[in-house]
């Protein structure tokens, strides 16, 4: 891929510099994004996407008009009303979901298309409610994402040096299920929904700035954000089942028929909604059997050519 300048149609993480190569720009963007979100699968992005755009100067009038893939770094988010995604905070997708397809495509600006190369892995066959999910698949082992929750609980308690209020139940649920792997799926789902209801009744979390200070104390930052992360993991996700039987969690914006894709050389599953020749970016998801590079390794071994996704 020839060297090119990566340009952002809203506020860039890294200001384009015509003396920088594509790789140099993305190295800086990756560091900035990891600093802001703490989790981001950007390691291979220099290889997989390019902006089809011209420089755009963000103004008070244009800054509120976002593409579905554009991170909204310009504002504070309310921890309950506008929860963070599993990886970066992409918000505009939800604003576009209610629009007819023709309206969405008529308002498309060619300079705002983000082009990615990757592979369509599977189709989402169903999303929550949990009752519908349980009829399509069985929980035979500890769900992979629940193990992630257990890891976060332990990590947060280590950082804070104490048990965090309102997380004790989550810790117990993880421990109990980890030691009772033959526990039925229905019992697990009941327990999880009970955890959801308890967390939803806890005191409202205050709005917090998404933009972190220039040099935050890692312990303070991680500990203060953890309560939000665990809360939203449990209360602001949908279960999903793919057509090939994989289980997972993802954005509340997901619907039956949405596509799970992997970007070239990446291992994070992303959910896209096809709009004829274009796609709407709905965010990332946890999908069982896809979180540690197993599927991406199979795809690379198959040598199938990648396809292009144009995101609006």
Please give the residue that has the higher pLDDT: either 296 or 142: 296
Specify the pLDDT at position 264.
65
Question: Does any domain span residue 123?
Answer: no
Q: How far apart are CA 184 and CA 208, in angstroms?
A: 38
Long-range own/partner contacts, residues 159-166 (CB < 8 A, 24 or more apart): 159/219, 159/222, 159/223, 159/226, 160/223, 164/226, 164/227, 166/198, 166/199, 166/202, 166/227, 166/231
Task: Summarize pLDDT for 34-54 with one digit per residue, the tens.
Answer: 444 433 333 333 222 333 222
Highest mean pLDDT range out of 97-111, 127-141, 263-277? 263-277
Question: Does any domain span residue 109?
Answer: no
Q: Would the pLDDT of 169 be above 70?
A: no
pTM above 0.75, yes or no: no
Question: Does any domain span residue 44?
Answer: no
Nearest to 82 by CA among 94, 70, 97: 94
Question: Does any domain span residue 286?
Answer: no
Instruction: Show the domain range for 233.
Output: 141-237
Q: How far apart are CA 91 and CA 110, in angstroms?
A: 20
6 confidence band (pLDDT: 50, 70, 90): very low
Least confident of 141-150, 202-211, 222-231, 258-267: 202-211
Question: Does any domain span residue 136?
Answer: no
Question: Does any domain span residue 11?
Answer: no
Specify the pLDDT at position 210.
33
- In total, how many domains does the chain have? 1
Please give the residue that has the higher pLDDT: either 285 or 84: 285
Give the count of beta carbons closer than 10 Å to the beta carbon of residue 201. Answer: 8
Question: Does any domain span residue 231?
Answer: yes
In degrees rounded to 5, what are phi and psi of residue 121?
A: -95, -45
Specify the pLDDT at position 125.
84
Over residues 176-193, the mean pLDDT reads 43
Q: Would the pLDDT of 306 be above 50?
A: yes
Question: Does any domain span residue 36?
Answer: no
Over residues 95-121, the mean pLDDT reads 52
């Amino acid at each position: 891929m020839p060297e090119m300048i990566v340009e952002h149609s809203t506020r860039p993480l890294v200001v384009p510099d015509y003396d920088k190569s594509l790789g140099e720009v993305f190295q800086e963007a990756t560091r900035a994004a990891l600093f802001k979100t703490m989790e981001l699968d950007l390691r291979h992005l220099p290889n997989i996407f390019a902006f089809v755009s011209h420089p755009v100067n963000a103004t008070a009038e244009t800054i509120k008009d976002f593409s579905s893939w554009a991170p909204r770094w310009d504002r504070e988010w309310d921890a309950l009303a506008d929860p963070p995604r599993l990886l970066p905070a992409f918000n505009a997708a939800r604003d576009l979901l209610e629009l007819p397809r023709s309206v969405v495509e008529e308002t498309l600006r060619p300079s705002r298309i983000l082009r990615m190369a990757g592979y369509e892995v599977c189709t989402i066959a169903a999303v929550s409610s949990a009752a519908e999910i349980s009829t399509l698949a069985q929980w035979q082992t500890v769900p992979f994402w629940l193990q992630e929750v257990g890891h976060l609980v332990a990590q947060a308690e280590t950082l804070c040096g104490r048990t965090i209020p309102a997380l004790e139940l989550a810790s117990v649920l993880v421990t109990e299920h980890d030691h009772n792997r033959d526990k039925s799926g229905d019992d697990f789902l009941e327990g999880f929904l009970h955890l959801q209801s308890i967390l939803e009744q806890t005191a409202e979390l205050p709005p917090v700035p998404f933009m972190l200070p220039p040099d935050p104390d890692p312990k303070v930052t991680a500990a203060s954000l953890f309560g939000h992360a665990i809360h939203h993991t449990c209360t602001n996700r949908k279960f999903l089942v793919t057509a090939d039987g994989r289980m997972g969690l993802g954005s509340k914006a997901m619907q039956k028929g949405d596509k799970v894709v992997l970007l070239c050389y990446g291992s994070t599953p992303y959910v896209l909604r096809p709009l004829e020749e274009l796609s709407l970016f709905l965010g990332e998801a946890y999908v069982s059997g896809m979180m540690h590079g197993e599927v991406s390794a199979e795809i690379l071994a198959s040598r199938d050519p990648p396809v292009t996704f144009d995101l609006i």
